[in-house]
Amino acid sequence: MLWTLVLIAFIVAHVSAAGRTEIRIARNLVANAAARAAADGAIHAAIFNLLDPQPEQHWPVDGNARELVVGNSRVTVRLEDEAWWVNPNSASPALLEALLHATGSDPESARRQANAIGEWTGSAPAPRPPNALLAEYRAGGLDYGPPGEPLETLDELGRVLGITPAILAALRPHLTLYGPSQPSATSSDPFVAAALAETAQAAPAPSAAQPPPDVLTTRITATAFGSSNARAIRSAIVRFGPVLPRGYEVLAWRDGF
């Protein structure tokens, strides 16, 4: 009888412990979902603010943090100009070379890597025949060649011949797929600023379409802090301008870039 009671007590304790664990997991899931929703809500608030017909009411696109309260979450919002970074799909070879140099590649390697990126994206000024490119990639131990088309994601740069994981890690924070071919001279990114200085205002790629001057592409990053130490980072790339049907267009929206 005593052993039966001990066994029952053990089962009850195990079930209670498992129940408490499940409750904690459920609470964490709810808290994380609430923080994620708060971050998305803050991005919506930023979009509405930048659509205000009174420009003096707009939050400045300066990269500085702005704090909001959404529900029970505290949210930090940053607005950044997407033109602060280099677009590898349309940037000139000289600008890509300068950025690679600024992020640690030696001059000769930077030149080769910039040419390889241009051949991958189809923006090389003097493209070589596809069979020559394929032979070069195969000589490098790869069973594919450059597609000659714009990148769909920045991760794709890791497939370019000569772009190692370390080079991509150093380069990636200074890149965008949504900016113009020539970054803004007011870029707050010191590596992009150094690349612009090295190229001495190199001209944009002639085939790249430039957005109208009154169109602004903005990166909105919201970091929400909720209950139970919940934290969520959400980012959106949004283009604003009177030429757009609704005054704005969402280009991307996902977890933090």
Per-residue tens of pLDDT for the chain, all 257 residues: 655 655 565 555 555 555 566 656 667 788 889 999 999 999 999 999 999 999 999 999 999 999 999 988 999 999 999 999 999 999 999 999 999 999 999 999 999 999 999 999 999 988 899 999 999 999 999 999 999 999 999 999 999 999 999 999 999 999 999 999 999 999 999 999 999 999 974 444 444 455 555 689 999 999 999 888 899 999 999 999 998 989 999 999 999 77
118 with 79, same domain: the answer is no
CA distances, 224 to each of 5, 68, 198 (Å): 49, 9, 38
98 with 67, same domain: the answer is no
Per the structure, the complete domain to which residue 136 belongs is given by 93-174
For residue 200, tell me if it sits in a domain.
Answer: no
Tell me how many domains the chain contains.
2
Question: What's the CA gap between 253 and 186, in Å, rounded?
Answer: 25
Reported as type and span, the H/E element at residue 68 is strand 65-70
Question: 53: alpha, beta or left, given left = phi > 0 and alpha = psi -120 to 50?
Answer: alpha
For residue 179, tell me if it sits in a domain.
Answer: no
What are residue 110's phi and psi, to 5 degrees?
-60, -40
Which residue do the tokens 């205000």 mark? 52
Residues 6+ apart with CB under 8 A from 132: none
Picking from 152, 174, 196, the residue at the C-terminal end of a domain is 174
